Structure 1
Amino acid sequence: MDFLSNTERRYEDWGAQVMEAAAVPSAGGAVIPATLVSGLKNTNVTEGESVTLQCQISGHPTPVIMWFREDYKIESSIDFQIIYKNGFAQLVIREAFAEDSGRFTCTATNEAGTVSTSCYLLVQVSEDIESREDVAVVTEHVETAEKLVTEEAKEETVSQVSAAGAEAAAEAAAPPAAPFFITKPSVQKLVEGGSVVFECKVGGSPKPHIIWKKGGVPLTTGYRYKVAYKKETGECKLEISMTFADDAGEYSVYVKNQLGEVSASANLLEEEEYEVYMKKQQETFKTEVTAMVQEPRVGDLPPMEQTTTTTTTTTTIISGQEFHLSAMELRTIQDLEVSIMRITYREIVSEDGELMVTATPTEATQPSFQTPVKNYRIRDGMSVTFHCKTTGMPLPK
C-alpha cells in the first residue's frame, strides 16, 4: 500500500508536467491534436502473470503510438505486444517478471501535437513460489512413477524413486540449521555497457531459498538479469548485463528457511565512487597492517645481496616489505615475455577471425600505453578490474 500511495503521488506530480498536448495550428481546421481521453493506471501483478496496460487516446489524423519503460523505447515483440485499435492503446506483457517493474509511458503524436500518460507497474514475487514449484515437480514425478509401476518393472521403478528422493533424504538427515553466509556479496564497479556479477555462498538445513532485491523490488532471471543458485554447494550469483547508470545502488540477497532468515547487501558504485571506496579500503588496510606488523625473524626476509658483478637482484617493494624474485622466477618471467613478443600481429588477428588493418608509413605510429595497468591491494573476497588504454595506428591488438 505504501508503494502504491507513493507511486500515486509521483504519478500525479509527473503527470502535471507531461500530460500537456503541444498543439500546432492547423490550416484546414479538420486536424485534431492527439488528446488523452483516459490515462494509464498503476498496476500491481504477481510474477508470471500476463498484464495489459491501457489508455484511450483520440486525434486526427490517427496518432503514432510509442511506449517507453524508464525512458527506454519498447519495440513490439512476442513478449511486448503493442496495439492501437478503436482509440485504445494497449501494451500487453505476455509474462511479467520482477525486473519489468518500473514506470511505463505511452506517447501519442500526430501533426497537431503530442500527449503522454504514465503509470507504475509493480511485479511482486511470492517468497514461496520456488517452494511451490519444487512441490509441484516432486508431485508430478511421483504421479508419473505410480502410473508406470508394473509387476515386471517394480525394481527399476523403486531405484528411480530412490534416486529422485536421495537429495531430500540427505537433507532430512542433516541437523537443522538456520541460514547463514559462508561468503557475502562484495562492492562492485559499474561500467556502462558492461556486465557485473554479485556472488555469495550460503548454508542452512533445510536448504534455504534465496531472493535478490534492489530497492525492495525482487530480481529474477529475465531481460538483463540472471539469477543462479546451486543448492548443493550454496553458491548464489546475480549477473547484470548491459549495465546503465541507473543500475547503480544497493543490492541485497535474502536467505530464508523454516528456521530463520538472514540478509546481506553490497553496492554497485559508479567509477568515481568506486575509486574513492577503494582508496578508503586501502587506507584502512594499511592502518590494520601497521598495527599488526611484528619484528621479522631471521629468514623472514632474505638479505639484500651486495655484489660487483653484472648480476642484479630484482626486488619488489610493497608497503615497506621486500619480496625478492629468485633466479628461476626471473627466468620464467623473461621466457614468458619473449614468447609473447614472438607472437605476430598477423597471428593475433587470424586467431580472432578479424581482417588485417594496415596504415601508410606516414600514418603508422608505434603502439603505446596512455593509461598503464595499475597495482591494487584488495581484501580476500573482494573483486578487482585491471584496465589500460592504448594508442597506435593501426589500432593495436
Structure 2
Amino acid sequence: LIIEPFAEDSGRYECVAVNVAGEARCDADCIVQSPTKPEKPTTPGSEKPPHIVEKLKSQSVEEGSKVIFRCRIEGKPTPTARWLRGENIVKPSRYFQMTRQGEYYQLVISEAFPEDEGTYKCVAENKLGSIQTSAQLKVRPIENLDAPPTITALKDASVTEGMPAQFKTTVTGKVKATSVQWFREGALIPETPDFQMIFDGNSAVLLIGTTYEEDSGIFTVRVTSSTGQVESSAKLTVKSKD
C-alpha cells in the first residue's frame, strides 16, 4: 500500500511469496501521473510545441528480462510519438508495446535479447514542432548456469536455554528452496514449529524458536544443485539458566 505516491515511485513492483515448498512471484507496473487539470479551450496563445519533462534513461538488463523505457513530454496539442531503434521504427508486436498515459510515453519490451541492444528514441511531435529523447539498452548474457553454488560460512552461536537461536548463510547460484538442507550432528533436521527453515531470495536461515541444552551441537547447512554441492558448519552452545 503506497499511501502517498510521487512520480519517483513509478516503476515495476514485485511480490515474492516463499515457503518450504518453493516460491511464487508476480509483478506489475505502477505509473504515477501528475494531477489532471480541466482542459481550457485551445487558443493560439495556449498552444506550445513538445517539451521534454523527463528524459529516457539508459538500462542494462539480463537476457530475457522485461524492459520499460519511459519519458514525459508536454505539449499542446497533445504530441503523437513514434519509437525508433537506431534509425528503424519499432513496430508494435508481441515483444514491443507502446502506450501513452497523459504526458507519459512508454515502450515495453517483454523479453530483451542481445539483438535488441542499441539506442532507443522517442520522437514526439505536434503541429508546432517535434522533439526527441534517447537512451541506450545493453543486454547482459544470463549468468553461467554451470557454476556451482557458493555459500557464506555459518557462525557459532551461544544462547541461554529457552531463548531462540538462528544460523544464516547467503547463497549464490541457481538454487531452489528444496535444495537447502539443515543437519544437527549429521542428522537431517525435519521442519517443526521449533525448527523452521526459511529460504528467501538468496538467504537461507535455520530458526530455532526455543532452545534446550540438548540442542547443543554442530549444525550444518548443505546446498545442492545440478552443478555441485557445498556445505558449512557451526557450533551451537545452549547454556543452562542456573
Structure whose alpha-carbon radius of gyration is higher = 1
Q: Which has the higher contact order (CA 8 A, sep 6+)?
A: 2
User: Is this a same-fold pair by TM over 0.5?
Assistant: no
Range class of TM-score, shorter chain: 0.3 to 0.5
More strand by share: 2
